[in-house]
Amino acid sequence: MGYILNDDQKSMVKAAKEFVEKKVQPVVAEYDREGTLPIELYQEAAELGYTALEVPEEYGGSGLDYYTILAMYEEFAKVDAGFATGVGAASLALKTVLIAGSPEQKKYFASFVNGEKQGLDKPETGYQGYAAFALTEAGAGSDAAQQKTVAEKDGDDYVINGSKCFITNASLASVFVVFATTDKTKGTKGISAFIVERDLPGVSIGKEEDKMGIRLSNTAEVLFDNVRVPADHLVGAEGKGFVYAMQTLDMARPSVASFAVGVGQRAIDEAVAYAKTRKTFGKPIIAHQAINFKLADMDIKVEAARSLVINYVNKYYEQIALGKRNFTREAAICKCFAGDVAVQVCLDAIQILGGYGYSREYPVEKLLRDAKIMQIYEGTNEVQRMVIGGALSR
Ligand code: COS
C-alpha cells in the first residue's frame, strides 16, 4: 500500500476494511444480481459514521484527513464499488456547502450526514447520513452549463422547477444540493446552488436506473415541481453555482480514483490467487511468463494510480495551506488514469481466469462491470482530458 499512515489512521482504515468484509462481502453477489438496495447496510454505515468522514469535527464529523479517507474508500471499493459509491457520495453534496456555505449552512447540512437529525428513516424523508449532489440533467451531462432547472426569486423564497437525472443516492438522500439557473441570460454565471430538503412539497424521486455495474448503489431522477425554499437556502452567492460545482468536482474526482484503485487491486488479488492454484502444462499459471508479466503490468498500473491519488492529496493540502485551490489538474489526472487502469486491469484479470473469468460464478466479471463507470461518472474521462489539456493550454 502506498499510503504512509500513522497508527490511528491505520486503525481507521482497518476498521473500515473489517466492516465491509464482514457485513457487505457476504451479500454482494445477491444484491448485484437483484439490483436492489441494501438499505440496512447503508443505515449501519451511517451509524458507524462512514457518511460523515468528510464532516469537520466542529460540525460533528470525524475530522479525518484525506489520506485516511481515500485509503478507507479504497477498502470499501475492494469489497464493492457500488457500496463505496453510495457511502462516499454522502459527502459529495456536503463538499459544496463546505466550500461556499455560511457557518449556519455548514452546521445545518452536516446535521443530515453526521447522524444528528432524527426521524430520517423512510423514503419520503430520505435516510439519516445521506445527501445527494444534483447537477446532471438529461441535456446537461458533460456540458454541465446547460442547466434547464430554474430557480425563480419570489418574495423571500426561491421556487425551483426542473429535473435531474443519474443522481447517486437520490432515493436515499435526506437533503440535496441542487444547481439551477437563476438568470438565463448569463450562462455559467447565471447558475446558483441551493440546499433542498427531501421532504419539501414538490420534491419527488423519478426513475431508478437499472445499471450494468455498481448495482449496490442507487442512481435515480429527482424531480422539482414548484419547490419553495427560503432565500437562506441559497449556497454562497447567486450566479456562482457553476464555479462551486466545479470546485466540488475537483475534490470529488479523487474519491472516484480511490474506488477505481480498490476495484483494480481486487482484480489483481483475484487473478493472483487464481494463477497460483490453476495449473497448465505441469505448473501453476503464475509461473508462465505470459501470465506473470501480465500480473506485473497490472500491479504497476494500480500502484501508479494509487500514487496519483496520493499526489492529489499532497497538492490539495499544499494549496489549502496557501489559501488557494489550484488542484483541478491533479484531481482530473488521478480520476482519468485510475478509471482507465481499473477497466484495463479487470479485462486482464478476466483473461487470466479464462472461461472462469467470464462466468458469473467468479467475481471478476462483476469487477469489470463496476470498473466501467469509473470512466464515466464524476465527469467522463474525455472531460478529464479536456480539463487537463485546458490546464496545459493556459
Ligand atoms: N474551479 C474553479 N472555477 C472553474 C473551474 C474549477 N475547477 N472550472 C471552470 N471554472 C470556471 C471558469 O474559470 C469559468 O469562469 P470565468 O468565465 O469567470 O472564466 C467558468 O467556470 C466556466 O468555465 P468553462 O468555460 O471552462 O466551462 P465549460 O462550460 O467549458 O465546462 C467542463 C467545463 C467541461 C470542465 C465542465 O462542464 C465539466 O466539468 N463537465 C463535466 C461535469 C461532470 O463532471 N459531471 C459529473 C456529474 S456530477 S457527480
Report pLDDT digits (tens) over 286-297.
999 999 999 999
**pLDDT at residue 69 greater than cutoff 90:** yes
pLDDT of residue 336: 98
The predicted structure's pLDDT at residue 61: 87
What was the pLDDT predicted at 115? 86
Judge contact between 152 and 208, C-beta under 8 A. Answer: no
Mean pLDDT on 243-252: 98
Question: For ligand 1, is residue 383 a contact (CB within 6 Å)?
Answer: yes
In a 3-state reduction of DSSP, which class is residue 298? helix
Does residue 134's CB lie within 6 angstroms of at least one atom of ligand 1? no
Mean predicted confidence (pLDDT) in 259-281: 98
Per-residue pLDDT reduced to its tens digit, 71-116 = 999 999 999 999 999 999 999 999 999 999 999 999 999 999 998 9
Ligand 1 pocket residue status of 376, Cβ below 6 Å: no
Is the model's pLDDT at 332 over the cut of 90? Answer: yes
Residue 388 in contact with ligand 1 by CB distance below 6 A: no
The pLDDT of residue 211 is above 80: yes
Percent of the chain with pLDDT over 70: 100
Residue nearest to atom 15 of ligand 1 (CA): 243
CA–CA distances in Å: residue 143 to residues 28, 148, 163, 378: 34, 12, 16, 12
Which residues are catalytic, by number? 378
Residue 1's pLDDT band (cuts 50, 70, 90):
low
Three-state DSSP class for residue 359: coil
**What integer pLDDT is reported at residue 62 of this predicted model?**
84
* Test site for ligand 1: of 136, 146, 219, 246, most ligand atoms within 8 A of the Cβ: 246
247 CA distance to ligand 1 centroid (A)? 9
Verify whether ligand 1 is closer than 6 Å to residue 135 (CB atom).
yes
For residue 218, pLDDT beyond 60: yes
pLDDT at 63: 86
Q: What is the mean pLDDT of the chain?
A: 97
Residue 385, pLDDT score: 98
Find the Cα–Cα–Cα–Cα dihedral 212, 214, 217, 219, rounded to 10°. -40
Q: Where are the alpha helices (DSSP H) in the chain?
A: 7-19, 28-34, 39-47, 66-79, 81-89, 92-100, 103-113, 241-277, 289-321, 328-353, 355-358, 364-372, 381-393
**For residue 25, what are the CA distances in angstroms to 7, 14, 81, 346?**
25, 15, 11, 19
Q: Which atom of ligand 1 is nearest to the CA of 143?
A: 37
Q: What is the pLDDT of residue 370?
A: 98
Q: Which residue has the CA at smallest separation from atom 31 of ligand 1? A: 143
Query: Three-class SS of residue 308?
Result: helix
387 lines ligand 1 (CB under 6 A): yes
CA of 128 to the centre of ligand 1 (A): 31
294 in Cβ contact with 352 (< 8 Å): yes
**CB-CB contact of 356 with 313 (8 Å):** no
Strand (E) or helix (H) holding 140: none
Bridge partner list, 81: none
Give the C-alpha separation, 181 to 195, whole Å: 14
